[in-house]
Structure 1
Amino acid sequence: MKLMYVFLLIISLFILYKLIKSYGFNVIFTILASLIIIYIIANPKECMGFTVDGVKLFFNSVFPSLFPFLVLINMIISFGGIQIYSKILGKIISYPLGLSKNCSLAILISTFCGYPLGARYSSDIYERNLIDYKTYERLLNIASNGSPLFIIGAVGTAMLGNIYMGYLLLLSNFLSCIAMGLILPNRYKNNNSTSSKNVFVYGNNLNIGVAFKNSIEDAIKNALSIGGFIVIFSVIINIIKGNVLFNITLEKISTFTTIPFEVIQGLILGMIEVTNGCNIITKSSIDLNTKLLLLSFLITFSGLSITSQVYSLVYKFKVSMKKYLFYKTIQGAISSLITLLLCKLPFFNFSQETFLQNSYYNINSSQIYLVVILVILFPLIITKIES
């Protein structure tokens, strides 16, 4: 029986190789989509349940927080918010990261709202000719972070049961963003003459009613687009999780590598859709520090679901997604390393007992404020050094 399976596998791989050679890698996506369609036809009730779960996730958790942000940010941009923020915060936020001061609004949006809104408004700034293409590519890799609401609320509080672990992961995420600003190529060189050419004020004579209407229409369009990605990836993830062959393969890998099954499953599914992966890892039996390292990587990497959303926003500008994914992988590794170092500090002296109790943690509010102040001062220090 095993010999027959091996024979069939070899035949299948040979046929796949011939198809790829003839039609390119598009054949892989065609086959995968066809298999998913067959699964949906064979299990309609189950797949409808997966779809409903995705819709509930979007309308109960994502849409209520996403839609108001989109409307308000669009209003800010309509009335010259890019220029206002670039003048007030440009030097503090953008220059230490090697970016034009016109990038400051996209960085703020990414910091407070998370992905994929950073990519959405980075593209908007580039489309308005406020930054050049190299700065735009650089900005995309920097302004693509998890939101505080997701990291502290969903992962820290809901999944890990400890808000301070959420703060740790958020801090690692922000510091990895700063690190990428220091190591990415094509640092922006401040040139006042070229910078002033590009900056012009939008919305001086714009009617507030028209601006509000346009902002709502754009917000609905983008929110529903994001919702579509969430729903389809909810279906795909649940189909993969329930696939017997997938689980058997993971068990074999787990046995061979001695890595726990939940860790492999969480990493693979997390690299497809970050929320599911984080949830699996937090429920696994591995030690707490390893959990935090893996969670830090997944949150920063963001997963193929978020990457697909980013691609839908940037594809018309011919951005290299291979390069984008490469730098996101590096940022994920940096974030994990930062998490490892932070876990050694007395501020974040977690223990397995603390995690299991989900109650007490030996940190006070003054220590949190101290860490926040240090993070705020870091860009200012870098700016002074560079000047």
Structure 2
Amino acid sequence: MTSLREKLPSLLYATSALFMAVMIIIYPQAVLQASQKGLEVWASIVFPSLLPFFIMAELLIAFGVVHFIGVLFEPIMRPLFNVPGVGGFVWTMGMASGYPSGAKYTARLRQEKQISQIEAERLVSFTNASNPLFIIGAVGIGFLHDAKLGILLALTHYLSNFFVGICMRFFKRGQATSKARYNFSITKAFEQLHQARIHKQQALGKILGEAVTQSIETLLKIGGFIILFSVITEILSTIQLAEICAQVIAFFLQVIQLPVDLSLPLFTGIFELTIGASAIAQTEVPLFFQAIAISIILAFNGFSVQAQVASILAETDIRFLPYFFARLLHAFFAGCFIIVLYLFFYSKELAKPALSLIDLTQTTTLSLETFGWVITFFALLIYLYILLFKFFHQSRFNHTRY
């Protein structure tokens, strides 16, 4: 007979689901508006900005480029982060495309047995970062209307994440990890690339089709989480529960001498960082404190992104708890670094090369906001076409077979 302690999670899950169902029925208008807001963010920005990275990463994995990078990066990734060289691919793609890319590619490497469970838990802890387009474009230019601060937030985000990786290299250091060791060798790297491509044994058309379908399936799941947590945040705000929880946050803000006006936006950002960052930027507190709060929630990721990561890791034996601990560590580092870097750099002009980056990011962001939904629409049409093609092809094969 199961104990009360074992039954408690089941009771908690069932109660939470029932509560949300009742709230959706009671507040349909608020839920509809929150769903539309989440869908708009996903369709116009998240989907078109992540889809090219996801497809390209799938192709790089299929063609053996990850194995090539693994050999070259081994002398760097091992001493710094205590993970194999293939972690360099995950780290780079995670920074370029944003979360939950780091979790997706880490899980993929684990499924292919290229890294051990402990190495995967170390790797995912520091490779699941926000992309520079979102930090500089959406947050810096869109929310704060200050491109220089967007660059500073991006620098803080990646620097603090680097130190998270340094700290997590000691996670379960005594336990066995993969024993593969490579010296820097271009010849060996190409040999690994060739063997990986040969081992795949798939036609080019099938590889392309799988890259598209797997990428879109992941993005559909991400879209569901964005909409869900947008609805949860709106419901908590509608029933005034968010304000009650914000009072607890306000107490801690007073202790560390931060403006209490940030309490409710911070609570919102704990659930969904995009909505939280927008709310923080709309407060009347000084820009310095806004930067601290946004830097913290960017590092924490928000429960929305964490839920996306948990769903991806659930397909493997990678545990979620080390990742969650790393997010707390990242939030601490990010809060400390933004204070130092803001005081040191912000009063001075940033380097001129950053200005071209500002212009490029601003143009890209505006383009996504205008035409992003068009890219999303046509990509979904292609996805449906591939699924129907596979379905009819499989049906014809089964008919011929029998």
What range describes the TM-score normalised by the shorter chain of this pair? 0.7 to 0.9
2:123 & 2:318 partners in 1: Cα distance? 12
1:142 aligns with 2:126: yes
RMSD after superposition: 3.0
Give the C-alpha shift of residue 240 in structure 1. Answer: 1.4
Task: Give, in angstroms, the shift of residue 368 of structure 1.
Answer: 8.4
Q: Which has the higher contact order (CA 8 A, sep 6+)?
A: 2
Structure 2 residue 276 is matched with structure 1 residue 270 = no
The CA deviation at 1:61 is: 1.3
Name stretches of at least 5 consecutive residues in structure 2 with no aligned partner: 357-402
What secondary structure, in the 3-state scheme, does the structure 2 residue paired with 1:316 have? coil
Amino acid at match of 1:362: E
- Structure 1 residues 344 and 98: CA distance shift in structure 2, 3 A: farther
Identity among equivalent pairs (%): 24
Q: 1:240 to 1:192 in 2, by over 3 A?
A: same
Offset at residue 178 of structure 1 (A): 1.6
Q: Distance in 2 between matches of 1:134 and 1:127?
A: 13
1:250 aligns with 2:246: yes
Are 1:168 and 2:152 matched, yes or no?
yes
Question: Alpha-carbon deviation of 1:241?
Answer: 1.9
Please, what TM-score do these two structures have when normalized by structure 1? Answer: 0.79
Aligned residues: 339
State the alpha-carbon separation in 2 of the partners of residues 250 and 244 from structure 1: 10
**Partner secondary structure for residue 86 of structure 2:** helix
In the alignment, is the contact (CA less than 8 A) between 1:75 and 1:215 conserved in 2? yes
User: Paired residue for 1:67?
Assistant: 51
One-letter amino acid matched to 2:341: L
1:247 is displaced (CA, Å) by: 2.4
From 110, 119, 125, the counterpart of 1:126: 110
* CA distance 1:330–1:135, change in 2 (3 Å): same
Distance 1:194 1:89, change over 3 A: closer
Alignment CA distance shift 1:80-1:315 (3 Å): same
How far did residue 341 of structure 1 move? 1.3
Contact kept in structure 2, 1:98 and 1:189, CA below 8 Å: no
Instruction: Give the equivalent residue in structure 2 for 1:46.
Output: 30
Task: Note closer, same or farther for the CA distance 1:250–1:344 as it changes in structure 2 (3 Å cut).
Answer: closer
CA drift at 1:251:
5.3
TM-score normalized by structure 2? 0.76
Gaps of 5+ in 1: 1-18, 350-360, 370-387
Equivalent residue number for residue 115 of structure 1: 99
Question: Structure 2 vs 1, CA of residues 257 and 299 (structure 1 numbering), >3 Å: closer, same or farther?
Answer: closer
Q: Does 1:362 align with 2:361?
A: no
Q: Which residue of 1 aligns with 2:17?
A: 33
**Distance (Å, rounded) in 2 between the aligned partners of 1:21 and 1:98:** 37
Q: Offset of 1:367 from its aligned partner?
A: 7.9
d(CA) in 2 for partners of 1:253, 1:140: 28
Q: Return the alpha-carbon distance in structure 2 between the equivalents of residues 252 and 181 of structure 1.
A: 31
Q: How does 1:1-387 map to 2 (within 5 A)?
A: 21=5, 23-92=7-76, 95-184=79-168, 185-186=170-171, 192=181, 201-204=195-198, 205-247=201-243, 250=246, 254=250, 260-345=259-344, 347-349=345-347, 362-365=349-352
Change in Cα spacing, 1:93 to 1:166, as seen in structure 2 (3 Å) is farther
